[in-house]
Chain A
Amino acid sequence: MTAAPPVHPPPDTAPTPHGAYGLHATARITAESAGGATDLPLLDGDGPFSLRRLRSRGTQARVCVLNTMSAPHNGDRLHTEVTVGPGADLHVITAAATIALPGPVPVHATHDLTLRVADHARLHWLPEPLISAAGSDLRQRIRIDLAPTARLVLSEQQILGRPHEPPGRLSTRITLRRDGRTLLDQHNTYGPGAQGWDGPAVLAGNRATGQLLIIDPAYEDHPPEPHHLDTPPAQGVITPLPGPGVLLTAIAPDAGHLQHCLNAALRHLGHHTQ
């Protein structure tokens, strides 16, 4: 029996001077293996997050996150906590793109996600894109803790601005620990104030960027080769991490071409999202 691996240090929850004006909400999902199926003993929506259980597929429980308010606005403090217990299998999607929006207070918004997956458990985390609207300022922090035999398929897409508008400021940091060791720590910051973000070293005019992260103990013995995805105008590369996992890094002029590249990567890696 292996419990969920140790958690990261708690995120900084110090109140901001304007904290009283922002929305504070925490959504929680806990999945447990029970008799060849996956139960959801905790499915706790809050604030903008409304959680809907979808029809299970085999042993896999499926959850859809609905954003039933417009959130996040600047100043909001959002948390999402997902725990997948030993042997459980959970698939999470969102019903629509999340749009980061300006707000009444001059402070950034935060969304902290903590994803924990225990031994022999699996999490698919496949939300719709995150759109950074003009004037918004969102810091997203994704902390993932995997047990040694846990599996993960995660995708994230960032769209910088709605059509014909400049982007807001968007920062996304993904830290993935497996068996206590950090396999990936990646922080992307785009938009006003981020030096060189739109230049030839970083995005070069592209407005959509995404990651696909797959961790599977089977990669331990058979790590995939680096692979360039030829899906112009999108560009992407699949790279083996220093451990049993791969990362797709992709950029594209828009959300549609980015999706095309992500799908090509999933096909290349023999995964499907449904």
Chain B
Amino acid sequence: MVNATLFQVRVIFLSEYILEMKNITKEFPGVKALDNVNFKVKRGEIHCLIGENGSGKSTLMKVLSGFHKHGTYDGQIIFEGKEQKFNTIYDSEKVGIVTIYQELALIPELTVYENIFLGHEIKNKGIIDWNKTITEAEKVLKKLGYTLDTSKKVKDFGVGVQQIIEIAKALSKNVKLLILDEPTSALNETDSEKLLQIIKDLKNHGITSILISHKLNEVLEVADTITVLRDGLTITTIENNNISENVIIKHMVGREINDIYPKRDHEIGDKLFEVKNWKAFDKKNERYVVKSANFYVRRGEIVGIAGLIGAGRTELAHSIFGNPDDYKVSGELYFEGKKVQFKSPSDAIKSGIAYVSEDRKGNGLILDFDIKTNITIANLKKILKGIFVNENEEVIIAEDYRKSLKIKSHSIEQKVLNLSGGNQQKVSLAKWLFVTPKLLILDEPTRGIDVGAKHEIYSIMNELVAEGMSIIMISSELPEVLGMSDRIYVMAGGKIIGELSNKEATQEKIMAMAVEY
């Protein structure tokens, strides 16, 4: 930790800026990811870096951390008054720049203290001093206001605490500039609040932070300064006093989005799908993840399922979708008035249900496949000619979806791996629309994607329900649940504990139900 008094003495000698990135240009084959970007961070501030997916935020941070090594980009990095030429991430960490990535870099099977000092173990003549390691680990955590049993394995803690452990790890490396990439995207509201408070506390300890986030409300809450990137250019750097979300959105997307949740107006039909007394037992973790769920969805209706992370919402969807390998289930499902049973996902798909996973990269898409093969994989039989895949028709179909969903790519033969989050989500959506479902289950449909793409996905949802499709939307973002749902179920502790109509629902009511349990 930076000693506070020492820190103040140094201020006198050093410039106002801890970091200056000057005229950074980074090109990838075919794309200019960063174009003469200038980015300055003041000592001791919280600087939020925002922009749509693909705007160059991550690339800029990768240049800073040495992931893209010196020489592969043009421009200068000046940190603490000295020009830096990082060749590896290790180089940047040595001078005190530490990045915490969206995908946490912890080893689940190792203990908390092992994780905190992983890579910079406390050694005595080559032998690890475990006693000192444990004491130091506890000391660092205490600084963050946490007392944990550091001998427990990391996997035994929730994502929220794991995030804290990551920060502790950064602190143990004598961090001066902490970069947090979407730290709250996987956290619920309470944990997010705690994390943001910790970032503010770090500021008082003299640690400068760069925060990348899509959640504008939290940006406005913590930021001292905000820099907006768009299409690899620095659009603006502004002080955070009394600016509104709309101003930021305008800078981000280059146009105004008046109503992020587009209106819809259509008839809602009869009951399409109903779940009664549903229970699901997770075979791997040997516990009930869904204890009691009763709900229904009507034709042309968007039903939101709100709740905190770990409330069992994703497990509810997975267990309904037919996963006998992972879940033992009981209860009844009714589809179009008939009792149904799904022994495998393919049964559910055949009945007309599609499930768009919350984890695009983990179990949504096949990243090594191109766009067109990802779109057709769940319903190949539709384009079979005999036993052969009709590749001409496949091209036509994929082109159709690319146009109608506005998937940004240079061709439908581009690997999904190289698409931005928002575009990956659209491919995922296209894949499931191609099975022409009657009921679409969307699990966190806009996680980690930017405002512009969010708006597009909401509009697509509206078009789908207007055509008579039903949608179940699982989401942790309350504004989204409130803005898009006709009805809302609240889930907590594996149970559906309440139902609210669109009119009566407010953020406060939902949160009260979700945490009351």
B and A form one assembly: no
Interface residues of A (CB under 8 A from B): none
Interface residues of B (CB under 8 A from A): none
